[in-house]
Amino acid sequence: MGTIVRCCSRDDVAPGSARCFDVDGHRIALVRIGDDFYALGDRCSHADYSLSEGDVWEDELEIECPKHGSTFSLKTGEPQTLPATQPVPVYTVQVDGNDVLVEIP
């Protein structure tokens, strides 16, 4: 069981978009699809580029690295396309009222 840390307010991330937050020293890409939130490590596993600056694929539940185009599953962090071959970390998200909370391991 990790530590539950407040990341932001729900309204800080528009539906269909992603935003980078520093949560307890972890650089996290928080993605919002409708009223659901997903938290991934923001650093692409291929090179040090910010996933939160990439496009969000709402139907596929993926985010695309803005540098070389690998897409990552929002649920598992696994890359779905090359050139990335390693997953990025995923974090458990809770929504409590207007607060978005992330579990830091």
- Residue 74: strand, helix, or coil: coil
Shortest distance (Å) from residue 27 CB to ligand FES? 14
CA distance readout (Å), 90 to 29, 44, 87, 97: 10, 12, 9, 22
Q: How far apart are CA 37 and CA 47, in angstroms?
A: 24
Q: Are 61 and 73 in contact (CB under 8 A)?
A: yes
CA distance readout (Å), 69 to 3, 56, 79: 32, 12, 10
Shortest distance (Å) from residue 21 CB to ligand FES? 19
CB closer to ligand FES out of 74 and 84: 84
- Please work out the total of residues on this chain that contact ligand FES, with binding judged by CB under 6 A: 10
Shortest distance (Å) from residue 66 CB to ligand FES? 8
Q: Which of residues 4-63 bind ligand FES (CB under 6 A)?
A: 44, 46-47, 49
CB closer to ligand FES out of 71 and 100: 71
Residues that bind ligand FES (CB under 6 A): 44, 46-47, 49, 65, 67-68, 70, 83-84
